Structure 1
Amino acid sequence: MNFAFGGSEVFDSPVDRSPNISTQVGFLVNLALARRVYTIDGDLASSYALLSYSGTDYYGFIDQNPNMAAYPAFVEFIVEDIQYSLGIMNGLKFKNIAVTSLHPLGCLPRVTVASSFRSCNESYSDLVRLHNESLKKAVAKLNKEDKFRTKGDRFVIVDLHKAFMTILEKKGNKRFKSPLKPCCEGDCARMDMKGAKKYTLCNDPKSAFFWDEINPTQEGWRSIYSLLGKSLTESLTKG
């Protein structure tokens, strides 16, 4: 049995009223414990869970706080909530629990559009660097305090950031000629009142790493997994 916990933000969303990441995790863990969704007896010892955080909180923060001096305290707040969420998941006694590193937010098309998709934003890069360094410390602390692990590290980090950057810097895949430029530009998948498309598409989606302003294409994800592949499997199944 495998679990995947996806959470886009630490704060509750004021737009779509979606719950924050620790609330989502707590809700799903309680469902599992209540056996309302999964049968967990005997399964967890050979199962793993993945917690994915997409960093939505940071976009608004950077817009309001251009001074890097404000970054550390906010990053600490975010990572503490992720650490708390991992602790909740620990209650289910999974064999291993993985969490993704934060991918390069400053290289997403929603940000690189400002440079005509030519370069990543350094302010975001600095913030992401702080986040991932803090996450490593949090995971190390959890592994040190975890009294239930029987062998090896129970909590592991899936390094999405390294995989993204390897491709975006053209070290791992030469097929994306302009990796920062999305295939779909504009208000993707939407039309105006007259039925005209409010977006444009590239000729070959397989030639683009990003589909829209935040999401990789299928080919993009395939390239990411090709880099994570073996190490990801080994990290989640060890112990």
Structure 2
Amino acid sequence: MIVLSLIVPFPITGAYVDPDRSIKLFVFGGSYVDTGNRDSTARSWKEPYGITDPGRPAGHFSDGQVFTEYIASRMGIKSPTPYRFRNQRPIKHGMNFAYGGTGVFDTWVAAPNMTEQIYLFEQLLQEKIYTRYDLKFSTALVSASGMDYRIYLARRGSLRGFPAFIISVVNQLGLDLQRIHDLGVPQVAVMGMQPLGCLPEFTRGYSYEKCNSTGNFAALYHNLLLVKKLKPESKFVVLDMYNAFMSAMKKFENKTGDFPIFM
């Protein structure tokens, strides 16, 4: 099932929720959800990042809030603490393991990929930082924003083998999502792929005036495979980022007459 909003499995009407146990959000992925895990040498700690919100660079790969903060707000909690600051900041609302520039597999960025991020989460559980009871009222947000595909095309320079690679990425992503659930998170929300063909590197050949159909086809194929893999499982929710992005870009284009691109 594809939905546009996160389905939060708590509180259930009539069910008892321990007031001492707060709702928690655990986040895995890359730049679309990273709230400060990359070190100070990353561009996310330099202007113009963060100049709109919080008013200064804060490790977010955006001039304002990233998707993690929108979801946390929807859940009625503060944005979860980045893993990097786990010993300096409160962790009652969960933890963010995402690192900008990473993917399902290894990328050019020397930071934990998706599988390694989940391992960091598992370590905290083994250390009893979070208990199974803590996870009872938790949700995971997972973002695979296409870095694997961007690097594949940059390295290969060809579409040969690309469909098979997309299948491998989705298969591994499915294993990662199941692993998060098996560790005790009752519901896992995964962001579908946004229209990759509208990224600057894909639109450069069109003078940034239209999206690349090949990139968008890859995103749609990824989403189709992902939904097919997860559809029978109510514990997984796929967020329809493709149509959300396209709708926002269309609205901007109608309003300004200019074609928008995004990072």
What TM-score does the superposition give when structure 1 sets the normalisation length?
0.63
- Shift in alpha-carbon separation, 1:173–1:65, aligned structure 2, 3 A: closer
- Shift in alpha-carbon separation, 1:176–1:94, aligned structure 2, 3 A: farther
- 1:117 corresponds to 2:208: yes
Helix, strand or coil at the partner of 1:43: helix
Distance 1:155 1:79 in 2: 14
Equivalent residue, structure 2, for 1:96: 187
Q: Is contact 2:29–2:103 with CA below 8 Å preserved after alignment? A: no
Distance 1:130 1:65 in 2: 19
AA in 2 matched with 1:86: L
AA in 2 matched with 1:180: P
Identity, % of aligned pairs?
Answer: 30
Compare relative contact order (CA 8 Å, sep 6+) and give the higher one, 1 or 2.
Answer: 2
Q: Which structure has more helix as a fraction of its residues?
A: 1
Bigger Cα displacement from structure 2, 113-122 vs 15-24: 15-24
Equivalent residue, structure 2, for 1:136: 227
Deviation at 1:41, TM superposition (A): 4.3
- Shift in alpha-carbon separation, 1:95–1:173, aligned structure 2, 3 A: farther
Distance 1:90 1:134 in 2: 19
Equivalent residue, structure 2, for 1:164: 245
Q: Is contact 2:132–2:184 with CA below 8 Å preserved after alignment? A: no
**Which of 168, 178, 181 matches 2:258?**
178
Distance 1:53 1:11 in 2: 10
What TM-score does the superposition give when structure 2 sets the normalisation length?
0.58
AA in 1 matched with 2:138: S
Structure 1: runs of 5+ lacking an equivalent: 144-152, 182-209, 215-239
- Shift in alpha-carbon separation, 1:175–1:26, aligned structure 2, 3 A: farther
Distance 1:174 1:95 in 2: 41
Q: Is contact 2:210–2:259 with CA below 8 Å preserved after alignment? A: no
Deviation at 1:55, TM superposition (A): 0.8
Equivalent residue, structure 2, for 1:23: 116
Q: Is contact 1:2–1:48 with CA below 8 Å preserved after alignment? A: yes
- 1:3 corresponds to 2:20: no
AA in 1 matched with 2:235: R
- Residue deviations 1:193-217, cap 9 Å, x none? xxxxxxxxxxxxxxxxx4xxx1xxx
Helix, strand or coil at the partner of 2:231: helix
Larger radius of gyration: 1
Q: Is contact 1:111–1:120 with CA below 8 Å preserved after alignment? A: yes
Deviation at 1:179, TM superposition (A): 4.0
Helix, strand or coil at the partner of 1:76: helix
Distance 1:75 1:113 in 2: 23
Q: Is contact 1:26–1:85 with CA below 8 Å preserved after alignment? A: no
Equivalent residue, structure 2, for 1:235: none
Distance 1:62 1:128 in 2: 13
Deviation at 1:79, TM superposition (A): 0.6
Distance 1:62 1:81 in 2: 19
